[in-house]
Amino acid sequence: MFRLRFLPVAAGLSAVSWRYHGTAHHPRTRRRLVVAAFIGTTAATAGARFLWQRAYAEDSSSVKHDLRTEPSEKVKQEEEEEGRGGEGRKAVASGDEEAPPEGKKKQRSGFRDRKVMEYENRIRAYSTPDKIFRYFATLKVINEHGESEVFMTPQDFVRSITPNEKQPEHLGLDQFIVKRYDGKKLSQEREKFADEDSIFYALGECGLISFSDYIFLTTVLSTPQRNFEIAFKMFDLNGDGEVDMEEFEQASIIRSQTSMGMRHRDRSTTGNTLKTGFNSALTTYFFGADLKGKLTISHFLDFQRKLQHDILKLEFERHDPVEGRITERQFGSMLLAYSGVQSKKLTVMLKQLKKHFQDGEGLTFEEVESFFTFLKNINDVDTALSFYHMAGASLDK
C-alpha cells in the first residue's frame, strides 16, 4: 500500500527532473540523468517498503504476544479474586461468631449527596416553617370527602430538625406519598408511625404530625424550661399554679418569640396556617376529654421531657445500634450534627474519633440521654462551678 502511494511521487519527480534538465544538457546526458533519478527513486521506495514491513511485523508479533499472555494473566486475576473471595468468606464466617460493633458500613456520600445535604441544611436554617414542613413531610392523606392534608411522620419530624440528614429520593418539596382514609383509619391498613407509649402517639390516631402540631412541637423543643415557667406564672390569673385551656392558649404566645415563630407566614394557598386552638388530641392530653381539666407546669414540663426523650430515641435508633449500643464515632456524629462544622472538617474529626476508639465498647441509650441532659443544663453547671471556684471549695467525684 505504501509503495502504491509512493509511485505517483516518483513519477512526479521524474517529470520535474526531465523538465529541469531538458533545457540545460545534451539529450544523451539527459537520458542518463533520468535513468539515475528513476533508479534512485526506486531504491528509496524499496527501502521504505522494507522498513514498513519490518515495523508491521514487529507490531503483529507484539499483538500476538499479548494475546498469548492474556489468558494466563486472566487466570492469575481469577485466582487472585478467588483468593480474596476465600479470605472474605473466612472473614464473614468469623464475623458470624464475633459481629463488628458498627454493623453494616454506610455508603460514602458522593458530590451530589453532599450538595443536596448542604441545600437542605440551608432550608432548615433560613426557610419559613411552611416550606420546611412541605419539604420534609412525606404523607398526604385524602379523607372520604376528597379533601387532603399533609402530615409528617415522627421520622420526618426528626429529619426536619437534624442537619446533614438527607431526605429520601423523590420526596422533596410538595412531593408526598398519597394515602386514603376510610373514616378515621387508613384504608386496609393500620399503620402506626409511633409506639403507643410515645408522645407522638398522643398527637393523633397514627402518630402523624400536622402543620399546627409541627409549630407547637418545635416551640416546645426550642424554648428553655425556665421560659415556660415564667409564662405559666404570667398567665395564671388566679395564682393557683394551674391554667385552663383558655389561659394556656394565651401562654402559647411564646411561640411567636422563637426563631421558628418569627419566620412563619400563613400560607392560605398551601393550607399551612396556624389554626386557633390546638390539636384535639393534644387538648385531650392536657385538659381531659371534657376539656375542663387544669394543666400544671409540672405536667407540661413532663410533656417536654417526654418529647425530648422520644426524639433522642428516634435519633439513637437511626444509627442502627448493635445489642443496644452505638459506637463512639456515631455518638460523636450526634454531638457534631448541630455544631455547624463544615463537612470536610467534620469528616476529619470523625475519622480521628474512629481511630482513637477502635476498641471502644460503645454507648447505650441511657448513657447518651444522660450526656444530653447534662448539656441541656450546662448553664446551671457553669453557675455551680463558678460558685465553687469563688468559695475555694474542691470538687470530688
Residue 326 cell numbers, joined = 452505638
Q: Which of 38-42, 145-149, 205-209, 302-306 has the highest mean pLDDT?
A: 302-306
* pTM listed for this prediction: 0.63
270, 349: one domain: no
Weakest-pLDDT range from 19-23, 173-177, 221-225: 19-23
Q: What would the mean pLDDT of 317-327 be, rounded to a whole number?
A: 91
Q: What would the mean pLDDT of 269-274 be, rounded to a whole number?
A: 53
Count of domains in the chain? 2
CA distances from 173 to 32, 130, 141, 163, 167 (A): 92, 11, 16, 17, 10
Higher per-residue confidence, 2 vs 43: 43
Percent of the chain with pLDDT over 70: 61
Judge whether residue 120 has pLDDT over 80.
Answer: yes
Q: Which residue has the cell 486475576?
A: 77
153, 266: one domain: yes
- Residue that finishes a domain, picked among 277, 306, 335: 306
Higher per-residue confidence, 397 vs 220: 220
275, 363: one domain: no
360, 300: one domain: no
118, 264: one domain: yes
Q: What are phi and psi of 170, to 5 degrees?
A: 65, 15
- Whether 183 maps to a domain, the answer reads yes
Maximum CA extent, the chain? 140
Domain that holds residue 363: 326-391
Higher per-residue confidence, 65 vs 163: 163
Q: What pLDDT is attached to residue 160? A: 92
Q: How far apart are CA 163 and CA 160, in angstroms?
A: 8
Q: What pLDDT is attached to residue 102? A: 43
- Whether 134 maps to a domain, the answer reads yes
Q: What pLDDT is attached to residue 230? A: 85
The per-residue pLDDT for range 185-208, each reduced to its tens digit, is 554 444 566 677 788 877 766 678
DSSP SS3 for 295: strand
Judge whether residue 249 has pLDDT over 80.
Answer: no
354, 233: one domain: no
Q: What pLDDT is attached to residue 99? A: 43
- Whether 40 maps to a domain, the answer reads no
> What ranges in 223-296 are assigned the alpha helix state H?
225-235, 245-251, 259-263, 280-287
- Residue that finishes a domain, picked among 248, 271, 306: 306
180, 273: one domain: yes
- Whether 5 maps to a domain, the answer reads no
Single-letter residue type at 14: S
301, 369: one domain: no
Running DSSP on this structure, what letter comes out for residue 17? H
- Whether 283 maps to a domain, the answer reads yes
Percent of the chain with pLDDT over 90: 12
Judge whether residue 369 has pLDDT over 90.
Answer: yes
Judge whether residue 364 has pLDDT over 50.
Answer: yes
pLDDT band at residue 350, thresholds of 50, 70 and 90?
A: confident
227, 349: one domain: no
190, 332: one domain: no
Judge whether residue 138 has pLDDT over 70.
Answer: yes
Judge whether residue 360 has pLDDT over 50.
Answer: yes
- Whether 4 maps to a domain, the answer reads no
203, 282: one domain: yes
129, 267: one domain: yes
Which is nearest to 166 in space by CA: 132, 111, 120?
120
Q: How far apart are CA 139 and CA 204, in angstroms?
A: 14
pLDDT band at residue 172, thresholds of 50, 70 and 90?
A: confident
- Whether 90 maps to a domain, the answer reads no
The continuous run of DSSP H or E covering 325 comes out as strand 325-326
Weakest-pLDDT range from 130-134, 164-168, 232-236: 232-236
- Whether 125 maps to a domain, the answer reads yes
| 234 touches 251 (CB < 8 A) | yes
Query: Exposure of 346 by Cβ count < 10 A (0-12 exposed, 13-18 middle, 19+ buried)?
Result: middle
The per-residue pLDDT for range 262-271, each reduced to its tens digit, is 554 555 555 5
Q: What SS3 string covers 140-160?
A: EEECCCCCEEEEECHHHHHHH
Weakest-pLDDT range from 64-73, 253-262, 340-349, 370-379: 64-73
